[in-house]
Structure 1
Amino acid sequence: MANKKFFWIKLKQDFFNDPYIKLLRRMAGGDTYTIIYLEMLVKSASTGGMLYFQGAGQDIAEELSLILDENVEDVRALLAYLEAKKLITHPEIKEDVFLVASADLTGSETDSAMRMRKFRERQMLHGNGQASLSYADVTDRYDKKEIETELDIETEREQETENKKSSVVTPAKTMLLNSLQANGFFVSPNSMAFDNLIAFHEQDGMEIEVVIKAVEDASAAGKSNVSYINGILNNKLSNDIKTLDQYNQSEKVWQSKQSNRQAESDLTPEQAKWLADRQRKRERNATS
């Protein structure tokens, strides 16, 4: 049974004492901006700090306001502040956002490790609440010890299964390794980084060509870290893109939207207003 991975953000004790956060909170609407910033950090935890623009909104601010269910002007003001303070960057595409603080605040854990941790926490709480060692208590503790042993065995079996999978050389692994090396990513086939990449194919059902395309796109963007590849693949997976045809089609759609957006930015205010009015009229006719 394959392990799923869960992500979260972990705030440092002095997070709200950070000068950038204190300054943000002192702004008009600062508490709202801080909450949105935390929401963005949570959203980016599984993509290595990246927030990818998918084209649902006119820009990343409008799209984030839809995803996070926040006011678009609040999101826009926050992004302006974060960019001014260099707390976000745009690694490849202007609308994509990388949260600089994400790496230091993100934690992760496999599901088997989570089960074990929660069980031991419950066991500790239960043990602290016992006043005496009655027969029932001894039996209860024995049962818990037995359960803990079974969980340990289950975890070991899962790890053995994963290790066996990792040690088997498949054509897909060979293709991925060759692509990584050809594009300047020197990743060991026995590393966790490689396992995470091949898992998109072996566990999530992506075509290996999709993973390789993400490697090539990351290299073309001048990125040399595997987390950027993971970010691309997580973004595609979140949109249920698992084949190379779907990947290429999504890129065409995005490029088309970018071209339309650029064309709209070149319009005069009068032309832009006329175009917006026409679009609203079409939407009303479509719903009527």
Structure 2
Amino acid sequence: MAKTKIYFWLKVDKKFFDNLFIKRLKNMPGGYTMTVIYIRLMLESLEDDCILYYEGYFDSLVQELALKLDVSEDDINMTVAYFTKCGLIQIDDDGHATLSQAKAMVESETNWAKYKRDQRKNSQNLPKLENVQNKKTISNSCPTEIEKENRVNSKSNNLYLDNILSGNPDFTFPTWLEETAIKDLEKTKHKELWVPIAYLNQVANKRYKFVDKTKRLLLARFKEGYTLEDFKQVIDIKTAEWKDSPEFSKYLRPETLFGSKFDGYLNQKPKTIRGKSEDNFPDLPF
């Protein structure tokens, strides 16, 4: 089944630049650079519910963002410090950054909605033909196979997610879950939602809790149409690659596995890292 792609963007208007915190930057050294970096940080956060997750690859989130955005650590540090002081960025105990203003500005649509919008635009640009009965351009009355597939997939994804959130009474635990993992899941309200965490704990010998910050990651992937089998495959691939490496086993965590590079991990060929080597450095989510 094809995955439902979700496109995100920021809705920026004049009011954004009239914000007192933004206007104040105009009179500060490096203020323009900080404004641009702040906008880029918001854009980076969109796919993960306006949160910048600290992956743990370097000593701090600032170092990771500097590499990701290809800017200096000093510029990132000043930007994060300024907007944290303004209350527009909140850093939690795990080093993750929530960009509250981005939540108010984010817009999104599925690939199906984008397809229909482009379709309407294209149909408006077609030349008008006179004296032709039963004119047919691109119409909703006879959808193409692509339309049908996208419509079915979108509806299927929504139903699947609804079942997960409603605590599907007909849910049966996957056969690849051990009894200990099942007992942990039995204590939760949304058993199916937390299966990936229970399985990660099982195969990687971890003790991750069923908490809200992880829930956001799981819901984001389920909304895109990924299934429990997809989560299992990603966990299996990355566990086989990193588990036996003292240097890389720490990356076997929800923020790394279930973030924006999930699809890349899902389609990765299995490989194993055992020792330290420059060639062994993991596939960074940058």
TM bin, normalised by shorter chain, reads: 0.5 to 0.7
- Over 3 Å counting, the alpha-carbon distance change for 1:152 and 1:84 in structure 2 is same
Alignment of 1:136-285 (within 5 A): 142-145=136-139, 149-150=143-144, 153-162=148-157, 169-172=170-173, 182-183=187-188, 197=193, 209-210=199-200, 216-219=208-211, 223=212, 226-227=215-216, 230=219, 242-243=235-236, 245=239, 249=243, 253=250
Equivalent residue, structure 1, for 2:66: 65
Query: Identity across aligned pairs (percent)?
Result: 20
Equivalent residue, structure 2, for 1:110: 110
Equivalent residue, structure 1, for 2:38: 37
CA distance in 2, matches of 1:218, 1:147: 45
Alignment of 1:127-138 (within 5 A): 130=127, 133-134=129-130
The amino acid that maps onto 1:217 is: K
CA distance in 2, matches of 1:254, 1:26: 41
Equivalent residue, structure 2, for 1:261: none
Following superposition, which runs of at least 4 residues in structure 1 exceed 6 angstroms of deviation?
173-181, 211-215, 231-234
Equivalent residue, structure 2, for 1:15: 16
Give TM-score scaled by structure 2 length.
0.60
CA distance in 1, matches of 2:83, 2:111: 34
Residue 122 of structure 1: how far off its partner (Å): 2.1
CA distance in 2, matches of 1:40, 1:181: 38
- Over 3 Å counting, the alpha-carbon distance change for 1:181 and 1:225 in structure 2 is farther
Q: Is the 1:45–1:106 Cα contact (8 Å) retained in structure 2?
A: yes
Equivalent residue, structure 1, for 2:88: 87
RMSD, aligned CA: 4.5
For the residue of structure 2 that corresponds to 1:26, the secondary structure is coil
The amino acid that maps onto 2:64 is: E
- Over 3 Å counting, the alpha-carbon distance change for 1:133 and 1:107 in structure 2 is same
CA displacement 1:42-75 (0-9 Å, x = unmatched): 1110111221222333322221110001122111
Equivalent residue, structure 2, for 1:56: 57
Between structures 1 and 2, the one with greater helix share: 1
- Over 3 Å counting, the alpha-carbon distance change for 1:56 and 1:155 in structure 2 is closer
Give TM-score scaled by structure 1 length.
0.60
| Number of equivalent positions | 227
CA displacement 1:154-194 (0-9 Å, x = unmatched): 444334544675668443489999967835xx56x9xxxx8
